[in-house]
Amino acid sequence: MQSVWDADESGVMQLPSGRLLRGRGFHKPIPRGATPDFALYLLGKKPAPVKWEARWVLWPDFRLPKDRDDARDALREAWLRSETERVEIACTGGHGRTGTALACIAVFDGVPAD
């Protein structure tokens, strides 16, 4: 069964393939509506548990991910899962690391890297 975001929900981005992902700030309130099926959290320390499946990448603010292979694998997992699941990408504020991650995921989706 397919479980995807409503394209009109706050923070939802549509990729050229039609896949939908939601970006948000981890420390902001969870938006109303559906909750993620899977979330990728890009934080400098392990986040508190959530009610849905989540993966954490150690990625300190204003830095690169500590393990680039792990980060690439996590971003690819998020992209793959977004075909049939509600996937959320979040860092502390929802702008820098989240935006970088969404740009990387867009490349997986076929957007030219340049």
- Give the closest residue to 109 by CA, choosing from 67, 74, 75, 68: 75
Tell me the residue range of the domain where 47 lies.
Answer: 12-108
Query: Does residue 80 lie in a domain region?
Result: yes
Query: Does residue 2 lie in a domain region?
Result: no
* pLDDT of amino acid 50: 93
Query: Does residue 1 lie in a domain region?
Result: no
Query: Does residue 113 lie in a domain region?
Result: no
* pLDDT of amino acid 32: 86
Domain count, the chain: 1
Q: Name the phi and psi angles at 24, rounded to 5.
A: -160, 170
Please give the Cα distance from 98 to 59 (Å, whole number): 11
CB 89 within 8 A of CB 34: no
Query: Does residue 4 lie in a domain region?
Result: no
In angstroms, the Cα distances linking 7 to 13, 52, 65, 86 are 7, 20, 29, 11
- pLDDT per residue of the chain (114 residues) written in tens, 0 to 9: 567 899 998 899 999 999 999 999 988 988 888 999 999 999 999 999 999 999 999 999 999 999 999 999 999 999 999 999 999 999 999 999 999 999 999 999 999 988
Query: Does residue 78 lie in a domain region?
Result: yes
Query: Does residue 6 lie in a domain region?
Result: no
CB 39 within 8 A of CB 88: yes
Query: Does residue 81 lie in a domain region?
Result: yes
* pLDDT of amino acid 2: 66
Strand partners, 56: 41
